[in-house]
Chain A
Amino acid sequence: MYLAIREMRFAKARYTLIATIMVLVAFLVLFVTGLAQGLAYDNAASVKNMAATHFVLEQDSNHRFTRSQLDQNQVEKAGLIVGKENAESLGVKMTTVVPLGDTEKIDVTLLAVNLDGWLAPTVTEGSPISDQTKGHVLVDQKLSDSGVKIGSIIVDQASGTKWTVSGFVKNESFSHTPAVFLNKQDWLNLQAQTLTRQGTGSAADSKVYNAIAIKASKEKVKELQSALPNTEVIKKSEAVSAIPGYKEEQGSLLMMIVFLFVISAFVLAVFFYVITIQKTSQFGILKAIGTRTAYLARSVTLQVLVLSVGSLVLSVLLVQLFEAVLPSSMPFQLGFSTLALTCASFVTMSLAGSLFSVWKVAKIDALDAIGRTAA
């Protein structure tokens, strides 16, 4: 304690330099983490928001909602096993809409859910829709940036179906596109229209959904899996990472974060190692006059701790400042738990980086002090 603090006070320039590097690295770590979190949420908000534990998808759909097709039969079967109220059919379709009287096209994802059930989103503005209302949808707040208001009519490009915007929901998106919620009736109508347009099949067998959202225990899930042939039951997290682009995006960001952690550990390790080598004879003298190795090791560790915690505090402040001035369209999300976890890992990595120096300090022999002309 005594030594560590006084040394930092004495060699201000040296420690300020390393602290600056640490602040920058820590800032980058926090920023990229926040961005990764923000992007993850922005990408998969709707699925993440769902209270489901598992999803039932068609076999060989590669965990992707958009590739899977299930019929009403399977929905009912699933309802029998896990309980009718714990199984909700889900329709997912990525499409392009145009607000009526406008030319700007918007990519959206249609989500067909039971609007009286537990998949229904919370309406933040406007009025909610029910399973009975026809031709009405709830849209994500982001659409208001494109001029969509309550009462606006949006037209589905593929089918030509028109919907009236009844209300807005917040933070609902799928694969980075804003979500549009519609009820089952409208979903089935849409299916029928699309099929008619394509000229395949008939309206009768068009009761098609993409997935079944399930709330169930592990045992029930196993039972479900064996009861429904040609399906697979996947966890919510698996469904999230199978959203187009999700895994790739998160993977590269995660790689950056991991690299930053490793870099910060190495920067500290090298810095303290060089300083320690420079101070070998000093440590030798300290040991000769009776300083215990543990005391010196603690001293080095404390310096690393002060540096990493200090730079973390600064960079957390910086990130918060940044967050305040960032445009709202920038997906940035740094919750307390993520922040705490990131900070803890940062400090841990820094301490790991100091181990090398501590080992070096432990190896220095007090005998070095005898017969030396210069320190």
Chain B
Amino acid sequence: MNSSKILEITELTTCFDTPEGLVRAVDGVSLVIESGRTLGVLGESGCGKSVTALSVMGLLPKPQGRISSGSIYFQGKDLVRKSPRTLRALRGSEMAMIFQEPMTSLNPVYTVGEQIAEAFTIHEHLPKKLGLQKARETLFQVGIPSPEQRIHEYPHQLSGGMRQRIMIAMAMACRPKLLIADEPSTALDVTIQAQILDLMLNLQEETGMSIMMITHDLGVVAEMSDHLAVMYAGKVVECAPVDVIFNAPGHPYTLGLMRSIPRPGRKFSSGKQALAEIPGIVPGLIDPPPGCLFAPRCDRAFERCRLEMPPLFNLKDQSGSSHGVRCWLAESMAQQPATQGGRT
């Protein structure tokens, strides 16, 4: 199995210097993505999901952000120990990232054709003309109608969905092995979101790439990912195959999220009732208290939760897949043997 791991993050800790003090935005996160599969990373704002992605890409804002410990093995090489130059060469060719707001990710003064062609001229050393030709093909591939015209247009002339397609086209230009998508459909309308998600699934089938899908939307992960890692306050609190989590969420936070989301049709199956809410607010990361960071909001928290941070216990279900849960309640159900992290 080890050979098919495209990305293996182990005990990653990423810190930020802020005026208020040092913030550990990602705190001992371990994740695994197998080639051709999709890992969903679910979490709310500030939970560290985007920082994890930026750590992998080597795109942490300097000088405030830095990886303080852990390793990130990508195709067998530890990215933490690679030079910025090597990382730059990997970005775009071996791994690529798309962001939530496609407008700010595109340069407004170049046509979309020029921007996509750039990927080819830099990474594949193609002449500019051939690069433009390739750009046209890529646009066609991501389902943009009349690419002949579109390559001569500027980002502001395109709709949000179209821009996200362009971003995907740019990311896909050099056939990366790993695509990191940070909330790629959050800024889009549902009908456009469906188009973009379909496009990503199609491209994955064609190219066999792996995807790290970062989102706050339970529906998007249910649809897109094979494995799911739920993050809260810089830590992975639960990880397992996606259906395992949706059938039997192990962490009170995951369960709370699932219960609190209004879903179409739900009130007719279970009757109109108040949504189960998770009380309290999303915690800040400055001066975190000891113990489980979810404990102040957890209705099942007990003494130990407030004193000691639980490790990631491994529940093993019938299907034999590993199911990691960072909760003291899971201790009694923990099985052996264990593997590390969110295996995909």
Are A and B part of the same complex? no
- List residues of chain B with CB under 8 Å of any chain A CB: none
